[in-house]
Amino acid sequence: MRTYRVAYPLTWRAMDVLEAFVAFVWPPSFRAAVPYLFLLPALILVGLLVLGLIQIADTSMRVLDRDTFLLSDAYSLDNYRRALTEPFFATIAGRSIIGSLIVTVITLVFAFPYAYLMVRTSSSALRKFLLVALFLPFFIGQVVRAYGWLIILGNQGIVNDILGHAGIPTLRLLYNYPAVLFGLVQYMLPFAVLMLAPALTAIPEELEAAAGSLGASWLKTFRHVVLPLARPGLVGAGLVVMTLSLTDFAIPAMLGGGSQDFIANAIYDQFFRTSDQGLGATLSLLLVAVGSLLVGVVFTAFGAGTLAMGGRRK
Amino acid sequence: MSGSRSKSVVIWAFVLAAIAMLSAPTIVVLGASFTAGNMIEFPPQGFSLKWYSAILSATDLRDAFFRSVYVAALNTIIAIPIGTLAGIALAKYKVRLENTIQVYLLLPFTIPLIGSGIGLMLVFGNAGALGQLWPVAIACCVINLPFMIWAVTASASNLSNDLELAAANCGAPPVQTFLYITLPAVLPGVITGSLLMFILGLNEFLVSLLLVDARSVTLPVQIYNSIRSIITPDLAAISVVFIVCAGVAVTLLDRLVGLDIFLKSK
Protein backbone atom coordinates (compact mmCIF):
# COMPACT_ATOMS: atom_id res chain seq x y z
CA MET A 1 0.00 0.00 0.00
CA ARG A 2 2.82 2.34 0.93
CA THR A 3 4.74 1.79 -2.32
CA TYR A 4 1.54 2.35 -4.28
CA ARG A 5 1.10 5.74 -2.68
CA VAL A 6 4.64 6.72 -3.62
CA ALA A 7 4.15 5.57 -7.20
CA TYR A 8 1.01 7.64 -7.57
CA PRO A 9 2.44 11.09 -8.44
CA LEU A 10 1.18 14.29 -6.96
CA THR A 11 0.04 15.63 -10.34
CA TRP A 12 -2.25 12.62 -10.77
CA ARG A 13 -3.78 13.21 -7.41
CA ALA A 14 -4.27 16.87 -8.24
CA MET A 15 -5.94 15.84 -11.50
CA ASP A 16 -8.23 13.46 -9.61
CA VAL A 17 -9.32 16.25 -7.30
CA LEU A 18 -9.85 18.51 -10.30
CA GLU A 19 -11.90 15.87 -12.10
CA ALA A 20 -14.01 15.25 -9.01
CA PHE A 21 -14.54 18.97 -8.57
CA VAL A 22 -15.52 19.49 -12.21
CA ALA A 23 -17.82 16.46 -12.06
CA PHE A 24 -19.42 17.98 -8.99
CA VAL A 25 -20.03 21.50 -10.34
CA TRP A 26 -20.78 20.33 -13.88
CA PRO A 27 -22.25 16.81 -13.75
CA PRO A 28 -21.88 14.66 -16.88
CA SER A 29 -25.62 14.98 -17.51
CA PHE A 30 -24.98 18.66 -18.35
CA ARG A 31 -22.53 17.68 -21.07
CA ALA A 32 -24.73 18.91 -23.89
CA ALA A 33 -24.47 22.39 -22.45
CA VAL A 34 -20.65 22.44 -22.48
CA PRO A 35 -20.27 24.39 -25.76
CA TYR A 36 -22.68 27.02 -24.47
CA LEU A 37 -20.65 27.26 -21.26
CA PHE A 38 -17.54 27.74 -23.43
CA LEU A 39 -19.26 30.46 -25.46
CA LEU A 40 -20.71 32.28 -22.48
CA PRO A 41 -17.71 34.50 -21.57
CA ALA A 42 -17.33 35.65 -25.19
CA LEU A 43 -21.04 36.35 -25.44
CA ILE A 44 -20.90 38.41 -22.25
CA LEU A 45 -17.82 40.34 -23.40
CA VAL A 46 -19.38 41.23 -26.75
CA GLY A 47 -22.52 42.03 -24.78
CA LEU A 48 -20.67 45.14 -23.57
CA LEU A 49 -20.90 46.44 -27.13
CA VAL A 50 -24.62 45.78 -27.24
CA LEU A 51 -24.95 47.56 -23.92
CA GLY A 52 -22.98 50.42 -25.43
CA LEU A 53 -25.31 50.62 -28.41
CA ILE A 54 -28.30 50.71 -26.08
CA GLN A 55 -26.67 53.55 -24.13
CA ILE A 56 -25.99 55.40 -27.38
CA ALA A 57 -29.61 54.95 -28.45
CA ASP A 58 -30.80 56.23 -25.08
CA THR A 59 -28.49 59.24 -25.11
CA SER A 60 -29.36 60.06 -28.71
CA MET A 61 -32.95 60.81 -27.74
CA ARG A 62 -32.04 63.32 -25.04
CA VAL A 63 -31.67 66.98 -25.95
CA LEU A 64 -28.98 69.23 -24.52
CA ASP A 65 -30.31 72.08 -22.42
CA ARG A 66 -28.15 75.07 -23.38
CA ASP A 67 -28.72 76.79 -20.02
CA THR A 68 -27.70 74.01 -17.67
CA PHE A 69 -25.61 71.93 -20.09
CA LEU A 70 -27.46 68.84 -18.94
CA LEU A 71 -29.28 66.34 -21.09
CA SER A 72 -33.06 66.33 -20.85
CA ASP A 73 -34.88 63.57 -19.03
CA ALA A 74 -37.62 63.40 -21.62
CA TYR A 75 -37.11 61.60 -24.90
CA SER A 76 -37.38 63.45 -28.17
CA LEU A 77 -36.30 62.96 -31.76
CA ASP A 78 -34.99 66.49 -32.04
CA ASN A 79 -31.34 65.36 -32.35
CA TYR A 80 -32.24 63.20 -35.34
CA ARG A 81 -34.00 66.13 -36.97
CA ARG A 82 -30.89 68.25 -36.46
CA ALA A 83 -28.50 65.56 -37.67
CA LEU A 84 -30.49 64.99 -40.84
CA THR A 85 -31.36 68.59 -41.70
CA GLU A 86 -28.44 70.80 -40.64
CA PRO A 87 -26.25 71.58 -43.66
CA PHE A 88 -23.07 71.30 -41.55
CA PHE A 89 -23.60 67.57 -41.05
CA ALA A 90 -24.68 67.09 -44.64
CA THR A 91 -21.37 68.62 -45.75
CA ILE A 92 -19.38 66.27 -43.52
CA ALA A 93 -21.42 63.23 -44.53
CA GLY A 94 -21.01 64.14 -48.18
CA ARG A 95 -17.25 64.60 -47.79
CA SER A 96 -16.95 61.25 -46.00
CA ILE A 97 -19.08 59.32 -48.47
CA ILE A 98 -17.47 60.76 -51.60
CA GLY A 99 -14.06 60.34 -49.99
CA SER A 100 -14.64 56.71 -49.11
CA LEU A 101 -15.87 55.98 -52.65
CA ILE A 102 -12.74 57.52 -54.20
CA VAL A 103 -10.51 55.75 -51.67
CA THR A 104 -12.19 52.42 -52.44
CA VAL A 105 -11.61 52.70 -56.18
CA ILE A 106 -7.96 53.81 -55.87
CA THR A 107 -7.21 51.21 -53.19
CA LEU A 108 -8.62 48.40 -55.32
CA VAL A 109 -6.64 49.55 -58.37
CA PHE A 110 -3.40 49.23 -56.37
CA ALA A 111 -4.39 46.23 -54.26
CA PHE A 112 -5.40 44.04 -57.20
CA PRO A 113 -1.99 43.89 -58.94
CA TYR A 114 -0.34 43.51 -55.54
CA ALA A 115 -2.50 40.57 -54.56
CA TYR A 116 -2.18 39.10 -58.06
CA LEU A 117 1.61 39.21 -58.04
CA MET A 118 1.72 37.87 -54.48
CA VAL A 119 -0.49 34.91 -55.33
CA ARG A 120 0.96 34.12 -58.78
CA THR A 121 4.68 34.63 -58.31
CA SER A 122 6.75 31.46 -58.36
CA SER A 123 9.38 32.99 -56.09
CA SER A 124 8.61 32.29 -52.46
CA ALA A 125 11.12 34.96 -51.39
CA LEU A 126 9.21 37.61 -53.33
CA ARG A 127 5.94 36.38 -51.87
CA LYS A 128 7.33 36.63 -48.37
CA PHE A 129 8.71 40.11 -49.02
CA LEU A 130 5.33 41.28 -50.30
CA LEU A 131 3.60 39.79 -47.26
CA VAL A 132 6.02 41.43 -44.83
CA ALA A 133 5.70 44.79 -46.62
CA LEU A 134 1.96 44.39 -46.09
CA PHE A 135 1.91 43.27 -42.46
CA LEU A 136 4.53 45.61 -41.08
CA PRO A 137 2.53 48.82 -41.62
CA PHE A 138 -0.62 46.97 -40.50
CA PHE A 139 1.04 46.28 -37.14
CA ILE A 140 2.70 49.68 -36.78
CA GLY A 141 -0.57 51.49 -36.21
CA GLN A 142 -2.24 54.49 -37.71
CA VAL A 143 -0.72 57.22 -35.56
CA VAL A 144 2.89 56.37 -36.34
CA ARG A 145 2.14 55.99 -40.04
CA ALA A 146 0.32 59.31 -40.16
CA TYR A 147 3.29 60.83 -38.32
CA GLY A 148 5.56 59.49 -41.06
CA TRP A 149 3.41 61.22 -43.68
CA LEU A 150 3.58 64.46 -41.70
CA ILE A 151 7.37 64.26 -41.89
CA ILE A 152 7.27 63.56 -45.63
CA LEU A 153 4.58 65.99 -46.72
CA GLY A 154 4.75 68.80 -44.15
CA ASN A 155 5.63 72.38 -45.02
CA GLN A 156 9.16 71.73 -43.71
CA GLY A 157 8.87 68.11 -44.81
CA ILE A 158 11.09 66.03 -47.06
CA VAL A 159 9.20 66.68 -50.29
CA ASN A 160 9.20 70.43 -49.76
CA ASP A 161 12.90 70.35 -48.80
CA ILE A 162 13.71 68.60 -52.05
CA LEU A 163 11.49 71.00 -54.01
CA GLY A 164 13.15 73.89 -52.18
CA HIS A 165 16.59 72.74 -53.31
CA ALA A 166 15.23 72.68 -56.84
CA GLY A 167 14.02 76.25 -56.40
CA ILE A 168 10.32 75.44 -56.26
CA PRO A 169 8.36 77.37 -53.60
CA THR A 170 6.83 75.45 -50.69
CA LEU A 171 3.75 73.52 -51.64
CA ARG A 172 0.92 72.96 -49.18
CA LEU A 173 0.69 69.19 -49.38
CA LEU A 174 -1.00 68.53 -46.06
CA TYR A 175 -4.28 69.47 -44.41
CA ASN A 176 -6.31 69.18 -47.58
CA TYR A 177 -8.75 66.65 -49.01
CA PRO A 178 -6.26 64.84 -51.29
CA ALA A 179 -3.86 64.34 -48.36
CA VAL A 180 -6.60 62.66 -46.33
CA LEU A 181 -7.60 60.46 -49.26
CA PHE A 182 -3.99 59.52 -49.90
CA GLY A 183 -3.48 58.63 -46.24
CA LEU A 184 -6.62 56.51 -46.28
CA VAL A 185 -5.55 54.66 -49.42
CA GLN A 186 -2.25 53.59 -47.92
CA TYR A 187 -3.97 52.70 -44.63
CA MET A 188 -6.52 50.53 -46.47
CA LEU A 189 -4.10 48.75 -48.84
CA PRO A 190 -3.27 45.85 -46.46
CA PHE A 191 -6.95 45.20 -45.75
CA ALA A 192 -7.82 45.18 -49.44
CA VAL A 193 -4.93 42.92 -50.46
CA LEU A 194 -5.67 40.45 -47.67
CA MET A 195 -9.32 40.28 -48.70
CA LEU A 196 -8.45 39.88 -52.39
CA ALA A 197 -5.67 37.31 -52.07
CA PRO A 198 -7.83 34.29 -51.15
CA ALA A 199 -10.22 35.10 -54.00
CA LEU A 200 -7.31 35.20 -56.46
CA THR A 201 -5.82 31.99 -55.07
CA ALA A 202 -9.09 30.30 -55.92
CA ILE A 203 -8.73 31.12 -59.64
CA PRO A 204 -6.83 28.29 -61.37
CA GLU A 205 -3.81 29.55 -63.27
CA GLU A 206 -4.62 27.08 -66.05
CA LEU A 207 -7.66 29.18 -66.96
CA GLU A 208 -5.40 32.09 -67.80
CA ALA A 209 -3.03 29.85 -69.70
CA ALA A 210 -5.98 28.44 -71.64
CA ALA A 211 -7.23 31.90 -72.54
CA GLY A 212 -3.72 32.82 -73.61
CA SER A 213 -3.29 29.74 -75.77
CA LEU A 214 -6.57 30.54 -77.50
CA GLY A 215 -5.04 33.84 -78.56
CA ALA A 216 -6.30 36.26 -75.95
CA SER A 217 -3.89 39.03 -75.02
CA TRP A 218 -3.14 39.36 -71.30
CA LEU A 219 -5.38 42.40 -71.09
CA LYS A 220 -8.25 40.46 -72.61
CA THR A 221 -7.57 37.51 -70.32
CA PHE A 222 -7.53 39.89 -67.41
CA ARG A 223 -10.79 41.53 -68.39
CA HIS A 224 -12.74 38.46 -69.40
CA VAL A 225 -11.30 35.74 -67.14
CA VAL A 226 -9.56 37.05 -64.04
CA LEU A 227 -11.72 40.05 -63.21
CA PRO A 228 -15.09 38.27 -63.45
CA LEU A 229 -13.82 35.35 -61.36
CA ALA A 230 -12.35 37.69 -58.76
CA ARG A 231 -15.56 39.66 -58.45
CA PRO A 232 -16.63 38.28 -55.06
CA GLY A 233 -13.23 39.21 -53.64
CA LEU A 234 -13.35 42.65 -55.26
CA VAL A 235 -16.82 43.42 -53.94
CA GLY A 236 -15.92 42.12 -50.49
CA ALA A 237 -12.67 44.06 -50.31
CA GLY A 238 -14.37 47.14 -51.73
CA LEU A 239 -17.12 47.14 -49.13
CA VAL A 240 -14.68 46.60 -46.27
CA VAL A 241 -12.42 49.40 -47.49
CA MET A 242 -15.42 51.64 -47.94
CA THR A 243 -16.79 51.08 -44.44
CA LEU A 244 -13.42 51.44 -42.77
CA SER A 245 -12.55 54.65 -44.58
CA LEU A 246 -16.06 56.06 -44.15
CA THR A 247 -15.77 55.63 -40.39
CA ASP A 248 -12.09 56.45 -39.92
CA PHE A 249 -10.97 59.01 -37.37
CA ALA A 250 -7.18 59.20 -37.16
CA ILE A 251 -6.27 59.93 -40.79
CA PRO A 252 -8.76 62.81 -41.33
CA ALA A 253 -7.78 64.18 -37.90
CA MET A 254 -4.04 64.07 -38.49
CA LEU A 255 -3.65 64.65 -42.23
CA GLY A 256 -6.75 66.85 -42.53
CA GLY A 257 -5.73 69.12 -39.68
CA GLY A 258 -9.27 69.85 -38.55
CA SER A 259 -10.44 71.29 -41.85
CA GLN A 260 -11.27 67.95 -43.49
CA ASP A 261 -13.37 66.25 -40.82
CA PHE A 262 -15.08 62.96 -41.53
CA ILE A 263 -18.13 61.70 -39.65
CA ALA A 264 -16.10 60.13 -36.84
CA ASN A 265 -14.34 63.46 -36.21
CA ALA A 266 -17.68 65.25 -36.05
CA ILE A 267 -18.87 62.70 -33.47
CA TYR A 268 -15.71 63.19 -31.41
CA ASP A 269 -16.18 66.97 -31.51
CA GLN A 270 -19.77 66.67 -30.34
CA PHE A 271 -18.64 64.70 -27.29
CA PHE A 272 -15.41 66.47 -26.39
CA ARG A 273 -15.65 70.00 -27.80
CA THR A 274 -19.32 71.00 -28.02
CA SER A 275 -20.23 68.62 -25.20
CA ASP A 276 -23.54 67.86 -26.89
CA GLN A 277 -23.59 64.17 -26.04
CA GLY A 278 -27.11 63.72 -27.36
CA LEU A 279 -26.28 64.92 -30.85
CA GLY A 280 -22.99 63.01 -30.80
CA ALA A 281 -24.82 59.82 -29.87
CA THR A 282 -27.32 60.42 -32.66
CA LEU A 283 -24.54 60.78 -35.23
CA SER A 284 -22.83 57.64 -33.84
CA LEU A 285 -26.00 55.62 -34.13
CA LEU A 286 -26.61 56.77 -37.70
CA LEU A 287 -23.02 55.89 -38.62
CA VAL A 288 -23.28 52.49 -36.90
CA ALA A 289 -26.47 51.83 -38.87
CA VAL A 290 -24.85 52.67 -42.21
CA GLY A 291 -21.57 50.90 -41.39
CA SER A 292 -23.18 47.73 -40.05
CA LEU A 293 -25.48 47.63 -43.04
CA LEU A 294 -22.52 47.73 -45.42
CA VAL A 295 -20.54 45.06 -43.56
CA GLY A 296 -23.68 43.00 -43.05
CA VAL A 297 -24.14 42.97 -46.81
CA VAL A 298 -20.56 41.70 -47.25
CA PHE A 299 -20.92 38.95 -44.70
CA THR A 300 -24.27 37.67 -45.93
CA ALA A 301 -23.33 37.87 -49.60
CA PHE A 302 -19.77 36.54 -49.45
CA GLY A 303 -19.30 35.02 -46.01
CA ALA A 304 -16.75 36.45 -43.64
CA GLY A 305 -13.88 35.47 -45.97
CA THR A 306 -10.72 34.54 -44.13
CA LEU A 307 -12.37 35.69 -40.95
CA ALA A 308 -15.11 33.08 -40.99
CA MET A 309 -15.19 31.40 -37.62
CA GLY A 310 -15.97 27.72 -37.48
CA GLY A 311 -17.96 26.71 -40.51
CA ARG A 312 -15.41 24.50 -42.30
CA ARG A 313 -15.40 21.15 -40.64
CA LYS A 314 -17.42 19.17 -38.08
CA MET B 1 3.10 34.47 -63.01
CA SER B 2 3.17 33.96 -66.72
CA GLY B 3 2.55 36.23 -69.64
CA SER B 4 4.04 38.91 -71.76
CA ARG B 5 6.57 41.53 -70.88
CA SER B 6 4.03 44.38 -70.97
CA LYS B 7 1.97 42.56 -68.36
CA SER B 8 4.92 42.31 -66.00
CA VAL B 9 5.75 45.98 -66.52
CA VAL B 10 2.22 47.13 -65.74
CA ILE B 11 1.84 44.90 -62.70
CA TRP B 12 5.26 45.77 -61.31
CA ALA B 13 4.57 49.49 -61.76
CA PHE B 14 1.52 49.23 -59.53
CA VAL B 15 3.23 46.95 -57.03
CA LEU B 16 6.27 49.19 -56.69
CA ALA B 17 4.03 52.20 -56.15
CA ALA B 18 2.14 50.26 -53.50
CA ILE B 19 5.35 49.15 -51.77
CA ALA B 20 6.58 52.75 -51.74
CA MET B 21 3.29 53.92 -50.23
CA LEU B 22 3.32 51.17 -47.61
CA SER B 23 6.90 51.55 -46.47
CA ALA B 24 7.67 55.25 -46.93
CA PRO B 25 6.34 56.37 -43.52
CA THR B 26 8.19 53.59 -41.70
CA ILE B 27 11.50 54.34 -43.41
CA VAL B 28 11.17 58.07 -42.85
CA VAL B 29 10.34 57.68 -39.16
CA LEU B 30 13.31 55.36 -38.75
CA GLY B 31 15.59 57.83 -40.50
CA ALA B 32 14.29 60.85 -38.62
CA SER B 33 14.87 59.18 -35.27
CA PHE B 34 18.63 59.08 -35.88
CA THR B 35 19.01 62.72 -36.88
CA ALA B 36 21.58 64.88 -35.15
CA GLY B 37 19.62 68.09 -35.75
CA ASN B 38 16.91 69.57 -33.60
CA MET B 39 14.44 69.54 -36.45
CA ILE B 40 13.51 66.93 -38.97
CA GLU B 41 15.18 67.93 -42.18
CA PHE B 42 16.16 66.44 -45.47
CA PRO B 43 18.93 65.61 -46.12
CA PRO B 44 19.38 64.65 -42.43
CA GLN B 45 22.03 66.44 -40.43
CA GLY B 46 24.25 63.57 -39.49
CA PHE B 47 23.75 60.53 -37.31
CA SER B 48 23.18 60.55 -33.59
CA LEU B 49 21.39 58.62 -30.89
CA LYS B 50 20.61 61.73 -28.88
CA TRP B 51 16.86 61.49 -29.40
CA TYR B 52 16.89 57.98 -28.00
CA SER B 53 18.60 59.18 -24.85
CA ALA B 54 16.13 62.08 -24.80
CA ILE B 55 13.14 59.73 -24.70
CA LEU B 56 14.77 57.64 -21.98
CA SER B 57 14.62 60.65 -19.69
CA ALA B 58 11.19 61.86 -20.84
CA THR B 59 8.96 60.51 -18.09
CA ASP B 60 5.68 61.27 -19.85
CA LEU B 61 6.61 59.21 -22.91
CA ARG B 62 8.00 56.42 -20.77
CA ASP B 63 4.93 56.29 -18.54
CA ALA B 64 2.68 56.29 -21.58
CA PHE B 65 4.68 53.42 -23.04
CA PHE B 66 4.33 51.32 -19.89
CA ARG B 67 0.60 52.06 -19.79
CA SER B 68 0.33 50.81 -23.35
CA VAL B 69 2.23 47.64 -22.49
CA TYR B 70 -0.04 47.11 -19.47
CA VAL B 71 -3.17 47.57 -21.60
CA ALA B 72 -1.84 45.24 -24.29
CA ALA B 73 -0.87 42.56 -21.74
CA LEU B 74 -4.13 42.73 -19.79
CA ASN B 75 -6.20 42.66 -22.97
CA THR B 76 -4.30 39.58 -24.15
CA ILE B 77 -4.66 37.81 -20.79
CA ILE B 78 -8.42 38.38 -20.87
CA ALA B 79 -8.73 37.36 -24.50
CA ILE B 80 -6.81 34.07 -24.24
CA PRO B 81 -9.29 32.01 -22.15
CA ILE B 82 -12.39 33.72 -23.54
CA GLY B 83 -11.38 33.48 -27.19
CA THR B 84 -9.95 29.98 -26.88
CA LEU B 85 -13.06 28.52 -25.28
CA ALA B 86 -15.35 30.25 -27.76
CA GLY B 87 -13.18 29.12 -30.66
CA ILE B 88 -13.19 25.50 -29.49
CA ALA B 89 -16.94 25.62 -28.97
CA LEU B 90 -17.52 26.93 -32.50
CA ALA B 91 -15.03 24.60 -34.16
CA LYS B 92 -15.71 21.37 -32.32
CA TYR B 93 -19.30 21.28 -31.26
CA LYS B 94 -22.58 21.51 -33.04
CA VAL B 95 -24.08 24.60 -31.56
CA ARG B 96 -27.69 25.58 -31.99
CA LEU B 97 -28.18 29.00 -33.61
CA GLU B 98 -24.55 28.80 -34.73
CA ASN B 99 -25.01 31.38 -37.50
CA THR B 100 -26.67 33.83 -35.17
CA ILE B 101 -23.91 33.37 -32.61
CA GLN B 102 -21.27 33.92 -35.29
CA VAL B 103 -22.91 37.11 -36.49
CA TYR B 104 -23.14 38.24 -32.88
CA LEU B 105 -19.48 37.46 -32.17
CA LEU B 106 -18.50 39.39 -35.30
CA LEU B 107 -20.25 42.52 -33.99
CA PRO B 108 -16.89 44.07 -32.97
CA PHE B 109 -15.98 44.06 -36.68
CA THR B 110 -19.35 45.15 -38.05
CA ILE B 111 -19.85 48.07 -35.66
CA PRO B 112 -17.61 50.97 -36.72
CA LEU B 113 -14.82 51.59 -34.24
CA ILE B 114 -16.04 55.06 -33.35
CA GLY B 115 -19.45 53.58 -32.48
CA SER B 116 -17.94 50.84 -30.31
CA GLY B 117 -15.66 53.35 -28.64
CA ILE B 118 -18.43 55.84 -27.85
CA GLY B 119 -20.69 53.04 -26.60
CA LEU B 120 -18.02 51.62 -24.29
CA MET B 121 -17.17 55.13 -23.14
CA LEU B 122 -20.80 55.64 -22.07
CA VAL B 123 -20.96 52.20 -20.41
CA PHE B 124 -17.72 52.62 -18.44
CA GLY B 125 -18.56 56.28 -17.77
CA ASN B 126 -21.87 55.34 -16.16
CA ALA B 127 -20.04 52.74 -14.10
CA GLY B 128 -17.62 55.44 -12.93
CA ALA B 129 -14.62 53.52 -14.24
CA LEU B 130 -13.16 56.04 -16.68
CA GLY B 131 -9.66 57.30 -16.06
CA GLN B 132 -8.37 53.86 -15.14
CA LEU B 133 -6.52 51.52 -17.44
CA TRP B 134 -8.50 48.31 -17.09
CA PRO B 135 -11.52 49.64 -19.02
CA VAL B 136 -9.16 50.44 -21.91
CA ALA B 137 -7.83 46.88 -21.80
CA ILE B 138 -11.34 45.40 -21.77
CA ALA B 139 -12.38 47.69 -24.60
CA CYS B 140 -9.37 46.62 -26.70
CA CYS B 141 -10.22 43.02 -25.91
CA VAL B 142 -13.83 43.43 -27.07
CA ILE B 143 -13.03 45.14 -30.36
CA ASN B 144 -10.31 42.66 -31.35
CA LEU B 145 -11.84 39.47 -29.93
CA PRO B 146 -12.88 38.14 -33.37
CA PHE B 147 -9.16 37.91 -34.29
CA MET B 148 -8.56 35.62 -31.31
CA ILE B 149 -11.57 33.42 -32.05
CA TRP B 150 -10.65 33.29 -35.73
CA ALA B 151 -7.07 32.22 -34.96
CA VAL B 152 -8.29 29.40 -32.71
CA THR B 153 -10.92 28.09 -35.12
CA ALA B 154 -8.42 28.28 -37.98
CA SER B 155 -6.09 25.90 -36.12
CA ALA B 156 -8.92 23.60 -35.13
CA SER B 157 -8.37 21.41 -38.18
CA ASN B 158 -5.77 19.68 -35.97
CA LEU B 159 -8.59 18.92 -33.63
CA SER B 160 -9.63 15.36 -34.26
CA ASN B 161 -12.67 13.96 -32.59
CA ASP B 162 -11.11 10.49 -32.81
CA LEU B 163 -8.16 11.54 -30.68
CA GLU B 164 -10.42 12.73 -27.92
CA LEU B 165 -12.46 9.55 -28.13
CA ALA B 166 -9.25 7.52 -28.01
CA ALA B 167 -8.15 9.38 -24.89
CA ALA B 168 -11.50 8.76 -23.29
CA ASN B 169 -11.28 5.14 -24.34
CA CYS B 170 -7.96 4.85 -22.52
CA GLY B 171 -9.73 6.03 -19.41
CA ALA B 172 -9.01 9.77 -19.48
CA PRO B 173 -11.77 11.71 -17.79
CA PRO B 174 -13.15 14.85 -19.50
CA VAL B 175 -10.85 17.42 -17.89
CA GLN B 176 -7.73 15.41 -18.70
CA THR B 177 -8.90 14.90 -22.26
CA PHE B 178 -9.43 18.63 -22.58
CA LEU B 179 -6.08 19.58 -21.05
CA TYR B 180 -3.92 16.99 -22.78
CA ILE B 181 -5.65 16.53 -26.15
CA THR B 182 -7.92 19.45 -27.04
CA LEU B 183 -5.83 22.35 -25.77
CA PRO B 184 -2.50 21.29 -27.30
CA ALA B 185 -4.26 20.82 -30.66
CA VAL B 186 -5.37 24.46 -30.79
CA LEU B 187 -2.24 25.86 -29.13
CA PRO B 188 -0.72 27.27 -32.35
CA GLY B 189 -3.94 29.19 -32.92
CA VAL B 190 -3.93 30.44 -29.34
CA ILE B 191 -0.37 31.72 -29.76
CA THR B 192 -1.17 33.43 -33.09
CA GLY B 193 -4.28 34.97 -31.60
CA SER B 194 -2.46 36.23 -28.50
CA LEU B 195 0.21 37.78 -30.69
CA LEU B 196 -2.41 39.61 -32.75
CA MET B 197 -4.27 40.72 -29.63
CA PHE B 198 -1.10 42.04 -28.02
CA ILE B 199 0.18 44.01 -30.98
CA LEU B 200 -3.24 45.43 -31.83
CA GLY B 201 -3.77 46.34 -28.17
CA LEU B 202 -0.40 48.08 -28.10
CA ASN B 203 -1.36 50.13 -31.17
CA GLU B 204 -4.98 50.82 -30.32
CA PHE B 205 -5.61 54.51 -30.79
CA LEU B 206 -9.23 55.59 -31.22
CA VAL B 207 -10.73 53.54 -28.40
CA SER B 208 -7.90 54.62 -26.09
CA LEU B 209 -8.44 58.25 -27.07
CA LEU B 210 -12.08 58.00 -26.06
CA LEU B 211 -11.51 56.13 -22.80
CA VAL B 212 -8.42 57.75 -21.30
CA ASP B 213 -8.08 61.00 -19.41
CA ALA B 214 -5.00 63.21 -18.99
CA ARG B 215 -3.55 60.95 -16.30
CA SER B 216 -3.92 57.70 -18.17
CA VAL B 217 -2.94 58.37 -21.80
CA THR B 218 -1.50 55.45 -23.70
CA LEU B 219 1.43 55.86 -26.06
CA PRO B 220 -0.48 56.25 -29.37
CA VAL B 221 -2.66 58.92 -27.75
CA GLN B 222 0.42 60.62 -26.29
CA ILE B 223 2.06 60.71 -29.74
CA TYR B 224 -1.16 62.02 -31.29
CA ASN B 225 -1.45 64.79 -28.68
CA SER B 226 2.18 65.83 -29.11
CA ILE B 227 2.05 65.84 -32.90
CA ARG B 228 -0.55 68.55 -33.01
CA SER B 229 1.74 71.09 -31.42
CA ILE B 230 5.08 70.55 -33.15
CA ILE B 231 7.00 67.83 -34.96
CA THR B 232 10.23 66.99 -33.14
CA PRO B 233 12.53 63.98 -33.62
CA ASP B 234 11.86 62.57 -30.12
CA LEU B 235 8.45 61.44 -31.38
CA ALA B 236 10.21 59.64 -34.21
CA ALA B 237 12.44 57.87 -31.70
CA ILE B 238 9.50 56.71 -29.61
CA SER B 239 7.64 55.67 -32.77
CA VAL B 240 10.54 53.35 -33.54
CA VAL B 241 9.39 51.35 -30.51
CA PHE B 242 6.20 50.55 -32.42
CA ILE B 243 8.15 49.71 -35.56
CA VAL B 244 10.39 47.30 -33.63
CA CYS B 245 7.37 45.68 -31.96
CA ALA B 246 5.69 45.30 -35.34
CA GLY B 247 8.86 43.77 -36.76
CA VAL B 248 9.04 41.26 -33.92
CA ALA B 249 5.34 40.43 -34.32
CA VAL B 250 5.64 39.83 -38.07
CA THR B 251 8.71 37.64 -37.57
CA LEU B 252 7.03 35.60 -34.85
CA LEU B 253 3.86 35.26 -36.88
CA ASP B 254 5.83 34.03 -39.85
CA ARG B 255 7.78 31.53 -37.74
CA LEU B 256 4.72 30.25 -35.91
CA VAL B 257 2.08 29.90 -38.60
CA GLY B 258 3.66 31.24 -41.77
CA LEU B 259 2.29 34.40 -43.33
CA ASP B 260 1.17 32.36 -46.34
CA ILE B 261 -1.85 31.24 -44.33
CA PHE B 262 -3.50 34.53 -45.28
CA LEU B 263 -3.34 33.67 -48.97
CA LYS B 264 -5.32 30.46 -48.72
CA SER B 265 -8.76 30.38 -50.19
CA LYS B 266 -11.55 29.00 -48.08
Contacts of B40 in chain A (CB under 8 A): 151, 156-157
A3-7, A295-299, B58-62: least confidently modelled range? A3-7
**H or E stretch covering B198:** helix B183-203
Q: How confident is the model at residue A303 (pLDDT cuts 50, 70, 90)?
A: low
CB within 8 Å: B126 and A19: no
Superfamily of domain A77-305: MetI-like (1.10.3720.10)
Listing DSSP states for B31-53 in one string gives HHHTBSSSS--SS---B--HHHH
CB within 8 Å: A147 and B242: no
How far is the C-alpha of B212 from the C-alpha of B201, rounded, in Å? 14
Smallest Cβ–Cβ distance between A114 and the set B14, B106, B116 belongs to B14
Residue A93, C-beta contacts closer than 8 angstroms, at least 6 positions apart: A263
DSSP letter at B131 equals T
Distances, alpha carbon A147 to alpha carbons A58, B40, B133, B212, in Å:
37, 12, 25, 21
Q: Does the CB of A98 have a partner CB in chain B at under 8 Å?
A: no
- Residues A83/A284, Cβ–Cβ less than 8 Å: no
How far is the C-alpha of B243 from the C-alpha of B248, rounded, in Å? 9
How far is the C-alpha of A306 from the C-alpha of B242, rounded, in Å? 26
Task: Give the end-to-end CA distance of chain A in Å, rounded to a whole number.
Answer: 46
**For residue A4, pLDDT beyond 60:** no
**Predicted confidence (pLDDT) per residue in B231-249, tens digit:** 778 888 899 989 999 999 9
C-alpha closest to that of A56 among A249, A245, A250, A279: A279
From the CA of A3, how many Å to the nearest CA of chain B? 23
Task: Give the end-to-end CA distance of chain B in Å, rounded to a whole number.
Answer: 22
**Predicted confidence (pLDDT) per residue in A201-235, tens digit:** 989 988 888 998 898 888 888 899 899 888 888 98
- Residues A298/A239, Cβ–Cβ less than 8 Å: yes
pLDDT for the residue A306: 45
Buried-state track B53-67, b at ≥16 Cβ within 10 A, e below 16: eebeebeebebbbeb
Domains of chain B by range and CATH? Answer: 58-263 (1.10.3720.10)
C-alpha closest to that of A41 among B85, B73, B93, B104: B85
C-alpha closest to that of A180 among A89, A268, A263: A263
What's the rounded mean pLDDT across residues A263-268? 95
CB within 8 Å: B259 and A305: no
CB within 8 Å: A148 and B91: no
CB within 8 Å: A198 and B89: no
Write out the E strands in chain A: 64-65, 70-71
Most confident among A17-26, A264-273, B176-185 (mean pLDDT): A264-273
CB within 8 Å: B263 and A113: no
Among B183, B199, B265, most A C-beta atoms within 10 A, so best to mutate, is B265
What's the rounded mean pLDDT across residues A168-173? 84
Task: Quote the ipTM score.
Answer: 0.89
**Is A183 exposed, middle or buried, given 0-12, 13-18 or 19+ CB atoms closer than 10 A?**
buried
- Residues B86/B149, Cβ–Cβ less than 8 Å: yes
Q: So where are chain A's domains?
A: 2-48, 77-305
CB within 8 Å: B40 and A42: no
From the CA of B186, how many Å to the nearest CA of chain A? 13
**For residue A145, pLDDT beyond 60:** yes
